[in-house]
Amino acid sequence: MEKAAAERSREAEAGRRAAGNGRKTKKLLLIEDEPELAASLRDCLQGEGYRVEMAADGEGGLELATRDYFDLIILDLTFPGRSALEVCRELRQQLITAPILMLSARSQTIDKVLGLKIGADDYVTKPFDMLEVLARIEAHLRRAPSGSGRPGAIYQFGTIRVDMRRAEVFRNGSPVALSAREFQLLKYFIEHRGATLSRKELLKEVWGYGGAPSTRTVDVHVFALRRKLELDPSQPQFFQTIIRLGYKFLG
């Protein structure tokens, strides 16, 4: 009971600090098998206002990363079972683009190089200064575009549930029929939630158009998503128009 109460107290304090900083709380995934180090990192990160999920091995880390959305992943190079390098490679193969910060011992130079080659963004050598870890995390979060981390296999907003792997969408538990292009557009919006997306970018990334044809293709498809997924399409909550710039998804 005391342990649970202490954990709730830490989370509450983290929330207060994040609110005081006036920033949106970022969610981090920590894959670390050393209990003391994991607890120390978690407490420090929560103290800075971050939300932290933890896994003690590669399989657990992969399950969390593909099921939920994280802004950044901290990955120790040494843990039992599936190797950290395999986990890093699998994360990138699953199109999870959240920055990956590796924790490594000084003797793991070759593994560090391999990790960077297969998709890790940075590494910190153990023993490390916690302030350095925080500085590296903040730097990567600043550089990462809003919503850069791929959402997990299941993504929910409002009463909408999106199964990314099956390309299925449900509203209040009932299936919603989307065309292939509508689903691709929805997926792109989700992967870039919070970012203002121009019609030109959407035409290029979703339709594959090299230029910007004089067509209302994007508008028509956004209207279709609003009609099928918004509670009130005339006053959209999720798919918002940014005048003269494009659209923004706020799911």
**Which CATH number characterizes residue 31's domain?**
3.40.50.2300
* Average model confidence (pLDDT) across the chain: 82
- Clarify whether residues 108 and 226 are in a common domain: no
What integer is the mean pLDDT of 5-31?
56
In a domain, 54, yes or no: yes
Domain end call among 143, 165, 200: 143
Backbone angles phi, psi at 81, to 5 degrees: 80, -140
Burial 178-196, CB ≥16 within 10 A → b, else e: beeebbbbbbebbbbbebe
Q: What is the mean pLDDT of the segment spanning 123-137?
A: 89
User: Is 148 inside a domain boundary?
Assistant: no
Confidence of residue 215 (pLDDT cuts 50, 70, 90): low
- Cβ contact 52:28 at 8 Å: yes
| Residue 87 placed within a domain | yes
- Examine the fold and report which residue of 117, 143, 169 is the final residue of a domain before the chain moves on: 143
Nearby residues of 68 by Cβ (< 8 Å), 6 or more positions away:
27, 53, 151, 152
The predicted structure's pLDDT at residue 140: 87
Query: Does some domain include residue 118?
Result: yes
The answer to whether residue 39 scores a pLDDT higher than 60 is yes
Contacts of 189 (CB under 8 A, 6+ apart): 197, 225, 239, 247, 249, 251
Same-domain check for residues 85 and 185 = no
- Measured in residues, the chain has a length of 251
Mean pLDDT computed over 196-204 = 91
Examine the domain organization and report whether 130 and 199 are in the same domain. Answer: no
Q: Are residues 6 and 117 in the same domain?
A: yes
Class of residue 120 by CB neighbours under 10 A (exposed 0-12, middle 13-18, buried 19+): buried
- Give yes or no: residues 139 and 237 share one domain: no
- Token digits of residue 207: 């339709």
Do 7 and 118 fall into the same domain?
yes
- Provide the pLDDT confidence category of residue 173 given band limits of 50, 70 and 90: confident
Domain co-membership, 199 together with 234: yes
Q: Is residue 116 domain-resident?
A: yes
How is residue 99 written in tokens? 């920055």
Q: How far apart are CA 27 and CA 7, in angstroms?
A: 17
Q: Count up the domains in the chain and report the number.
A: 2
Domain that holds residue 80: 2-143
| Alpha carbons 136 and 129: distance in angstroms, whole number | 11
CB atoms within 10 A of CB 176: 18
In this structure, the answer to whether residues 209 and 242 fall within a common structural domain is yes
Statement to judge: residues 112 and 182 lie in one domain: no
pLDDT score at 149: 52
Residue 117 lies inside a defined structural domain of this protein? yes
User: Is the domain of 213 the same as that of 95?
Assistant: no
Would you say residue 72 lies in a domain?
yes
pLDDT digit string, tens, across residues 52-99: 999 999 889 988 887 777 889 999 988 777 788 888 888 887 767 788
Residue that terminates a domain, selected from 113, 143, 173: 143
Instruction: Read off the CATH number of the domain in which 162 is found.
Output: 1.10.10.10
Q: Clarify whether residues 90 and 213 are in a common domain.
A: no
94 shares its domain with 113: yes
Q: For residue 149, is it within any domain?
A: no
Q: What does the alpha-carbon distance between residue 149 and residue 131 come to, in Å, rounded to a whole number?
A: 24
Buried b (16+ CB within 10 A) or exposed e, 60-94: bbbebbbebbbbbbbbbbebeeeebbebbbbbeeb
Backbone dihedral angles phi then psi of residue 169, each to the nearest 5 degrees:
-130, 135
Q: Give the separation between CA 103 and CA 126, rounded to whole angstroms.
A: 7
What angle do helix axes 217-229 and 180-191 make, rounded to 10 degrees? 80
